[in-house]
Amino acid sequence: MSGGRGAVATVVGLVIWAAFGFSVAGTLAAGQQRASSAPLPDTFDFGHSATPEEIARLDIDVMPDGTGLPQGSGTVAEGARTWAQSCSGCHGPEGEGATAAPLVGRDPDSRRVTVGNYWPHATTLYDYINRAMPRDAPGTLTPDQVYGLVAWVLSQNAIVGEDAVMNAESLPTVVMPARDRFVPDDRRGGPEVR
Partner 1 sequence: MTDTRNSVTTSRGRGRLTRREVLAGAAGAIGAAAVTPVAGQQAIDTTRRPGRGPNEIDQRSPFVTPQRDPSATSSRTPLQDLRGTITPADLHFERHHGGVPEIDPDRYELMIHGLVGRPRIFSLADLKRFPSTSRICFLECSGNLRRGSPETLPQMVCGLTSQTEWTGVGLSTLLREVGASPDATWFLAEGQDAAVMTRSIPMEKAFDDAMVVYAQNGDALMPGNGYPARLLLPGWEGNSSVKWLRRIELADQPFMTREETSKYTDPLGDGSTVRQFSFVMDARSIITDPAYPRVIEPGWHEIRGLAWSGRGRIARVDVSTDGGATWQAADLQEPVLDKAHVRFRYLWNWPGGPGEIMSRATDETGYVQPTWEALRAARGPRTRYHQNPITSWTIDDDGRVLFGAERLRS
Residues 50-109 within binding reach of partner 1 (CB under 8 A): 50, 54-55, 58-61, 63-64, 108-109
Binds partner 1 (CB under 8 A): choice among 93, 97, 161, 184: 184
CB of 146 to partner 1, least distance (A): 14
76 vs 163: CA distance, rounded Å: 7
Asked if 6 interacts with partner 1 (CB under 8 A), we say: no
- With contacts defined by CB under 8 A, name the span among 83-91, 114-122, 151-159, 164-172 that binds partner 1: 114-122
Among 19, 40, 84, 158, binds partner 1 (CB under 8 A): 40
User: What are the Cα distances from residue 121, in Å, to 13, 64, 86, 169, 176?
Assistant: 12, 6, 23, 14, 6
DSSP 50-94: PPHHHHHHH-----TT-TTPPS-EEEHHHHHHHHHHHTHHHH-TT
- According to CB under 8 A, which one of 80, 86, 121, 155 is a site residue for partner 1? 121
Q: Is omega for the bond preceding 41 within 30 degrees of 0, making it cis? A: no
Looking only at residues 18 through 37 of this chain, which bind partner 1 when binding is defined by CB under 8 A?
18, 22-36
Strand (E) or helix (H) holding 12: helix 8-19
Contacting partner 1 within 124-163 (CB under 8 A) = 124, 127-128, 131-132, 135, 138-139
Question: Applying CB under 8 A, does 175 fall inside the site for partner 1?
Answer: no
Q: How far is the CB of 108 from partner 1 (least distance, A)?
A: 6
DSSP string of 147-173? HHHHHHHHHHTTSS-TT-EEETTTGGG
| Cβ proximity to partner 1, 63 vs 80, nearer residue | 63
Q: Are 151 and 82 in contact (CB under 8 A)?
A: no
